[in-house]
């Protein structure tokens, strides 16, 4: 139930990403957690499966964010693989390819200076959606999907605060803070408690990131209490 807001420009993109996960699942903040297998990759590390939610490779100029989505694997077959390697493989230049993948559904947002796209796997089909110029949002459904209550509620506000200078991150974080006037259980909320919606996950942190020909970088802010703004 993660959320990403992205502004695609002529030479890259700027984005705000909110991570939702089970608070009991151990993880590590942004760092170089894979020096042997993925040298140069920086990301938010999932200790259980060893993968990443968000990853970037500054030298390669790549960034990727993994968002879970609903799929058609019901009941789920045995032997499913973790999706945690997807963002790391992506920033190394190895994207998912069409064909059967033993994984639950995902949206993989890939960002480079040349363009951005979403690769969506629903357990049955892999689809590619280019992200056009301008401000967009994605969560557990499709890009800019009005069925996602928080996209329908907040995409206009983020678009109105479209980043055009070095103060973009502050302005978007202000919109994020404004959204927390909603209860975290409200389906329109971005900082979320997903338990009432059937998922044992809560918002744990948010990151702001930039990808351009001049460089790729990310900063994170860990919430002091899961699902709560502080």
> With 0-12 CB in 10 A as exposed, 13-18 as middle and 19+ as buried, what is 188?
middle
Q: Which two tokens stand for residue 24?
A: 């009991």
CB 44 within 8 A of CB 220: yes
Identify each DSSP E strand in 103-167 by its residue range.
106-112, 115-121, 126-130, 134-138
| pLDDT on residue 116 | 98
Cα 110 to Cα 117: distance, rounded to the nearest angstrom: 5
Terminal C-alpha separation, the chain: 20
Going from the first residue of the chain to its last (230 residues), give the mean pLDDT of each consecutive group of 10, the final group possibly shorter. Answer: 94 96 97 96 96 97 94 70 94 92 93 97 93 97 96 97 83 97 97 93 97 96 94
**What is the rounded distance in angstroms from the CA atom of residue 64 to the CA atom of residue 99?**
21
- What per-residue confidence (pLDDT) applies to 54? 98
- Please, which residues have CB within 8 angstroms of residue 164's CB and are 6 or more apart in sequence? none
Q: Model pTM?
A: 0.96
Q: What is the pLDDT of residue 98?
A: 86
pLDDT at res. 100: 80
Give the per-residue pLDDT at 24. 96
Sorted by sequence, the CB contacts under 8 Å of residue 198 that are 6+ apart come out as: none
Domain boundaries 3-222, CATH class: alpha beta
* Cis peptide bond N-terminal to 77, omega within 30: no
Which pLDDT score, from 0 to 100, does residue 179 have?
Answer: 98
Residues 6+ apart with CB under 8 A from 101: 81, 121, 126
Report CA 64 to chain centroid distance, whole Å: 8
Query: 101: which DSSP letter?
Result: -
């Amino acid at each position: 139930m993660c959320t990403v807001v992205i502004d695609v420009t002529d030479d890259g993109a700027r984005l705000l990403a909110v991570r939702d996960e089970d608070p009991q699942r151990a993880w590590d903040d942004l760092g170089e957690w894979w020096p042997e297998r993925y040298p140069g990759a920086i990301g938010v590390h999932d200790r259980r499966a060893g993968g990443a939610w968000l990853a970037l490779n500054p030298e390669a100029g790549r960034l990727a964010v993994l968002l879970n989505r609903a799929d058609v694997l019901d009941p789920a077959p045995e032997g499913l693989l973790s999706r945690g390697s997807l963002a790391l493989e992506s920033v190394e230049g190895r994207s998912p390819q069409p064909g059967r993948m033993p994984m639950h559904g995902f949206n993989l947002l890939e960002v480079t200076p040349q363009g951005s796209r979403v690769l969506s796997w629903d357990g049955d089909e892999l689809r590619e959606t280019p992200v056009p110029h301008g401000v967009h949002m994605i969560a557990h459904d499709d890009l800019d999907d009005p069925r996602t209550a928080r996209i329908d509620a907040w995409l206009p506000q983020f678009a109105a605060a479209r980043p055009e200078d070095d103060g973009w991150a502050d302005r978007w974080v202000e919109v994020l803070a404004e959204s927390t006037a909603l209860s975290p259980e409200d389906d329109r909320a971005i900082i979320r408690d997903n338990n009432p919606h059937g998922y044992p996950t809560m918002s744990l942190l948010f990151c702001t990131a930039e990808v351009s020909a001049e460089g790729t970088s990310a900063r994170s802010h860990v919430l002091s209490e899961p699902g709560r703004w502080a």
